[in-house]
Amino acid sequence: MTSPLVDQARRQTLGDLPRRTAQRVPDKLAVVDGDVRLTFAELDAVVDRTAAAIHAHGLAPGDKLALLCHNSWQFVVLNFACARAGVVLVPINFMLGADEVAFILDRSGSTAFVVEDGLLPVAEDALGAATSGTVMTRAVVRLGGGDVPEGWADLQDWLDHEGTPYDVVLGDDDPVRMMFTSGTESRPKGALLSSRSLMWQYVSCALDGQMSADDVELHTLPLYHCAQLDCFLGVDVYLGATSIILPAPDPGAILRAIAEHRVTKFFAPPTIWIGLLRHPDFDTADLSSLRKGYYGASPMPVAVLEEMSRRLPDVDLWNFYGQTEMSPLATILGPDEQLTHPGSAGRAALNVETRIVDDQDRPVPAGTVGEIAHRSPHATLGYYLDKDKTAEAFRGGWFHSGDLGYLDDGGRLYVVDRKKDMIKSGGENVASREVEEAIYLLDGVAEVAVFGVDHPRWVEAVAAVVVPKPGAALTPDAVIEHTRSVLAGFKTPKYVVVVDALPKNPSGKILKRELRAEHADLAAADG
């Protein structure tokens, strides 16, 4: 056992990173967001002020702060300031509806809520729908420059706070983040991440992804996602690289930003890369600075990989595979195997051990499909307030991903199915069961099966096959309209088919594989 002073001297937490990088390269450009340009010294200073403000507003170590906001330099500051104050940050998907946001507020027990001004209507409705009543501190990020409503503080006052710096002593495995992840359940689970989880993941990303302090990275995917926030932005701050922030992944804006800022490194799911290739300005844009490209969230079509190699010959590509519970990196396919092993998720990352197991959790030989399982310090501390789900996921001392795949003779992973029936549309996770339960709320629905179908733009699109009750007159438009009224837009089925019966096996289980095969061409008209 070590003493508290030894523990304090040996600490390595998320909140330490801006300070340590500022001590190495104080004058280097850290973050660019529109007209805002912060050096690492300036970033560390505003993180210090904001951490002190968080403490001054009554938040104690272990409390939860929910954040509903588009990409911005303020998001970056809050990510590190919460960790420095010992407060657990709870990023929320800004595309969720009020009821979905209310669930996260209740489930997380958040006592503070920071909201972008443009999302205040959703936030107010969510607070009205929340039942826990725990949110006491509220602040507005004035990205739109509007007035601060009564009952809310101005986040700018936190950023400008003049007070004693507040820096708590955290253990490596004290939680600093709660990321809500969708699964087969109708409601998402809160995965707790610690500094140890994140820091070891940063090391894996940096070394296997060949990242360096010389990188200039463009961040356009939502920072509420682990992928953009922790595979890329966190690593950039750790290494001392420069981060360019855009509010959204607009292809035209991306092309302009790469040229303007001489961007060397960029991550996006396949849908965004496809959007760039199809943009009318792609061939005339100055992309000569770009050297490193990363993709994930869903497989890259082989034809697109081949096209990228022709049209971006100087850009090396990496495929990052993982999930929120792995902080999120698990495996990587490097540049030298993109075209020789297309569709592979690569090998286990530096600090990860991956294997495939059968239904009895026994390892299976190469080429055999089973569940993908990992051992790694990347792994979550568990699901908040859900010991049963945590025990199930970590049975046998391995984290069970819920994805199905196999390893080839070279140790490369191929993901072949989603045990949890997860649909990944445009890089967003959609749990099929959540959509099914929403559709079941519609009068006249007897049975429904939701699954993903190939889509030329979104890679996967949500599809639903519905069986009406006898005498009920259901239409696809009615199902879509109803679903949109209770779920976020990206979860709403793009295609609905009304049928008389669903295919089932002898035990009554719906055969989604047959449905996927039968309806594989639903998106053909959108090609």
Do 158 and 204 sit in the same domain of this protein?
A: no
Measured between alpha carbons, how far is 237 from 202 in angstroms, rounded to an integer?
A: 10
The pLDDT of 195-202, averaged and rounded, is: 98
Percent of the chain beyond pLDDT 70? 97
Instruction: Specify whether 228 is located in the same domain as 155.
Output: no
Task: Answer whether residue 184 shows pLDDT above 50.
Answer: no
**425-464 residue pLDDT tens:** 887 878 777 888 789 889 899 888 899 998 988 888 999 9
Assigned domain for 176 exists: no
For residue 489, tell me if it sits in a domain.
Answer: yes
Average pLDDT over residues 193-199: 98
Count: domains in the chain: 3
Phi-psi domain of 433 (left: phi exceeds 0; alpha: psi -120 through 50; beta: other): alpha
Residue 257 and residue 153 share a domain: no
Residue 74: which CATH number? 3.40.50.980
> Looking at the domain assignment, is residue 11 inside a domain?
no
* Model pLDDT, residue 136: 94
- Residue 212's domain comprises 197-418
What's the pLDDT score for residue 506? 47
The verdict on 367 and 225 lying in the same domain is yes
Report pLDDT for 418: 65
- pLDDT tens string 230-286: 999 999 999 999 999 999 999 999 999 999 999 999 999 887 898 899 999 999 999
Cα–Cα distance measured from residue 276 to residue 261, given in angstroms and rounded to the nearest whole number? 17
Q: Comparing 174-188, 209-223, 466-480, which segment has the lowest mean pLDDT? A: 174-188
Give the pLDDT score at 201: 98
Q: Residues 427, 400: one domain?
A: no
Q: At what angle do helices 40-56 and 73-85 cross, to 10 degrees?
A: 60
Q: Residue 415 and residue 425: Cα distance in Å, rounded?
A: 16
The pLDDT tens digits for 404-424 are 889 999 999 998 766 666 788
Q: Are 161 and 2 in contact (CB under 8 A)?
A: no
- Residue 183 in any domain: the answer is no
Q: What percent of the chain has pLDDT over 90?
A: 76
Q: Are 385 and 464 within one domain?
A: no
Shared-domain flag, residues 404 and 499: no
CATH code assigned at 353: 3.40.50.12780
Q: Answer yes or no: is 135 within a domain.
A: yes
Triad 354, 358, 364: Cα angle to 5°: 60
State residue 145's pLDDT score: 86
Q: What is the pLDDT of residue 337?
A: 96
Which phi-psi region, left, alpha or beta, contains residue 343 (left: φ > 0; alpha: ψ -120 to 50)?
left
User: 367 and 271 share a domain?
Assistant: yes
Domain identity same for 116 and 246: no
Return the pLDDT at 347: 98
- Per the rule left: phi > 0, alpha: psi between -120 and 50, beta: everything else, 22 is alpha
Q: In the chain, what is the straight-line distance between the N-terminal and C-terminal CA atoms, in Å?
A: 62
DSSP 4-23: HHHHHHT---GGGHHHHHHH
Among the three residues 365, 384, 418, which one is the final residue of a domain in this structure? Answer: 418
126, two tokens? 């969510």
- Is 376 part of any domain? yes
Q: Which of 418, 440, 473 is the last residue of a domain?
A: 418
Could you tell me where the DSSP H helices lie in 57-168? 73-85, 98-108, 120-129, 155-159
Q: What is the CATH number for 501?
A: 3.30.300.30
| Domain final residue pick, 128, 155, 171 | 171
Residues 273, 373 within the same domain: yes
- Average pLDDT of the residues in 512-525: 86
pLDDT at 399 over 50: yes
In a domain, 26, yes or no: no
**Tokens 């209740």, residue located:** 106
| Residue 509: band (very low, low, confident or very high) from pLDDT cuts 50, 70, 90 | low
Residue 402 lies in a domain: yes
pTM of the model: 0.85
- Residue 413: the pLDDT is 97
Selected residue with higher pLDDT from 87 and 298: 87
Which pLDDT value is given to residue 183? 47
Span 317-373, pLDDT tens digits: 999 999 999 999 999 999 999 999 988 999 999 999 999 999 899 999 999 989 999
Whether residue 238 is found in the same domain as residue 344: yes
Lowest mean pLDDT among 450-459, 471-480, 486-495: 450-459
pLDDT above 70 for 169: yes
Q: Measured between alpha carbons, how far is 441 from 486 in angstroms, rounded to an integer? A: 9
Average per-residue pLDDT for the chain: 92
400 and 428 assigned to the same domain: no
